[in-house]
A and B are shown apart, each in its own frame.
Chain A
């Protein structure tokens, strides 16, 4: 069996009294898109920065392409590409100049014009960095991460703060990388991103991997239940929601009841009857088929973006 291209074992990292990583372990096979899914502060960025060679772990080991990221220096950096959580460049550098500049640092280079075309930056190639929109800056960051045709690409929250259209464009680019058999490790707190893009996902919380598998495997852990989110004008009597027909779990988040049901139609009928009986009304009702969000809620009792 071939050695995994990324192997992380028992990584621990403290920032003063804060334990950012508490024994993170996982492996990624070549050509796989692997996601680290978790809320802010879960330890995703620290993990990625250790793998990029920008931070040293306090304990544990990491190997990428058979090398130690912290100690391998330039030969290691030749093998990887990365998009930081926030990329900054000098305001007065032009788009094409930035790609050309970074390409010069590597022995293996992708042609700048190809990258400009691929990332739809052709028309902006003479624009200064400070004239670009958020989406264009992120596309430039991605182009710069690929100037050396890397074996492994690290993407730290590549779509955070971008509007849905730009996010979809970035998804297309990542899917293209996937088709090109690049190994991608991406961090995200967007469920749809992890579900759409990742071959496998590690759910991270409080510096630990709390679940790992393909999105399908993880969703199966949700026991085939449907999530029903209900907002009411007036709360029902204690425990009434949890006793509704088909409900296996009920939690409240900021006035919204999140029910997990094995028989959604029966649950809704029972809910309507209960509301009439108690004189309350529905403010909103949404139904969701099982998602990674449900897995996260089941494991942690919290939503991903709390």
Chain B
């Protein structure tokens, strides 16, 4: 455990000296937040919590991208080899990656909440405990997915290509950019198989104060199962050496990561209650926005 903390602190220190990290982890989510509120929150501030949920999802999912790129860079440059000579195991390297990423995500999340509450006049912080739990589990889950990508790719180009592919699916099918309720029915059903959907819907309904404890529990359970499988697989596939070959069974291991989400997707599709609540919660926000417009036609708008 000592090595984990030592490495976590070192990684945080190094990340704070990395301009690219500061841009992508702090500045870009803020730009997205301001841009999204300017574009979609003009109509009514009732939309601000929903937008915040989506931006928090982006912020948390960023772990996936950042960690895979960092690990591949360290391996390609031979930095991991030096650590291998010391009494440090793969587990400590991976856990410290996840923890440092989590601790560096938290300030951005808190800043986003504060900006929405005080600059964009969000009525309250939403379900803070649920947001905190979802951010924690989401950050760990997406970090673990990133570590798997790093383990099965050999070069930075390959990593970027696979990341782009997965990221596109996560971003457009999870409800983080386009509200799930406005997607065609078949796409809604497909989205239930994606880990990102559990994070996005959980956060969107938590910031909007619509999430029930049961719904948050299911989202967290899905992410927790994903974490346990993904972390173990990334530990098994971890490679210190740039020239170490990816085992032939690696692709099968990666497929195993999807198993919890296939099971959850199948259950949710069969049960149907999540799709129902996605639609009804979205309608509730639309209604709230309409009521706010009627009740306070001269209310201050987010950009005022």
Contact = CB atoms under 8 A, between A and B. Distances in A.
Interface of A: 52, 54, 73-74, 77-78, 80, 82, 84, 86-90, 92-93, 97, 101-102, 104-106, 144
Contact of A106 (B77, B87, B89, B241): B87
Nearest to B73: A90
B274 interface: no
A105 B88 contact: yes
Contacts of B77: 88
Contacts of B273: none
B214 interface: no
Nearest to B19: A92
Interface of B: 2-3, 6-7, 10, 13-14, 17-18, 74, 77-79, 81-82, 84-89, 240-241
20 contacts: A54-B240, A74-B87, A74-B89, A78-B87, A82-B85, A86-B78, A88-B81, A89-B79, A90-B14, A90-B79, A97-B10, A97-B13, A101-B10, A102-B86, A104-B6, A105-B6, A105-B86, A105-B87, A106-B86, A144-B82
Given A101-B6, A104-B6, A88 B82 contact: yes
Q: 4 tightest CB-CB pairs across the interface, nearest first?
A: A74-B87, A92-B17, A88-B78, A77-B87
A92 B79 contact: no
A251 to B, nearest CB: 36
A84 B77 CA distance: 13
A92 B3 contact: no
Given A88-B81, A93-B14, 19 more contacts: A54-B84, A74-B87, A74-B89, A77-B85, A77-B87, A84-B78, A84-B82, A84-B85, A89-B79, A90-B14, A90-B74, A90-B79, A92-B14, A97-B10, A101-B6, A101-B10, A105-B3, A105-B88, A106-B86
Chain A at the B interface: SS class: loop
Nearest to B243: A15
B10 A84 contact: no
Contact of B81 (A54, A97, A104, A106): A54
Contact of A52 (B13, B74, B85): B85
A92 B18 contact: yes
A84 B154 CA distance: 22
Nearest to B74: A90
Nearest to A104: B6
B18 to A, nearest CB: 7
Contacts of A54: 81, 84-85, 240-241
Contacts of B241: 54
A252 B15 CA distance: 56
Nearest to B76: A88
A87 B83 CA distance: 10
A87 B88 CA distance: 17
A109 to B, nearest CB: 12
A92 to B, nearest CB: 4
A186 to B, nearest CB: 16
Given A104-B3, A105-B3, A105-B88, A87 B82 contact: yes
Contacts of A104: 2-3, 6
Contacts of A74: 87, 89
Identify which of A74, A84, A104 gathers the most chain B CB atoms within 10 Å of its CB. A104
Nearest to A80: B85
Contacts of B81: 54, 84, 88
Contacts of A84: 78, 81-82, 85
Contacts of A93: 10, 14
Identify which of A52, A86, A105 gathers the most chain B CB atoms within 10 Å of its CB. A105
Contacts of A144: 82
Contacts of B86: 77, 102, 105-106
A304 to B, nearest CB: 26
A118 B86 CA distance: 21
Contacts of A82: 85
A107 to B, nearest CB: 9
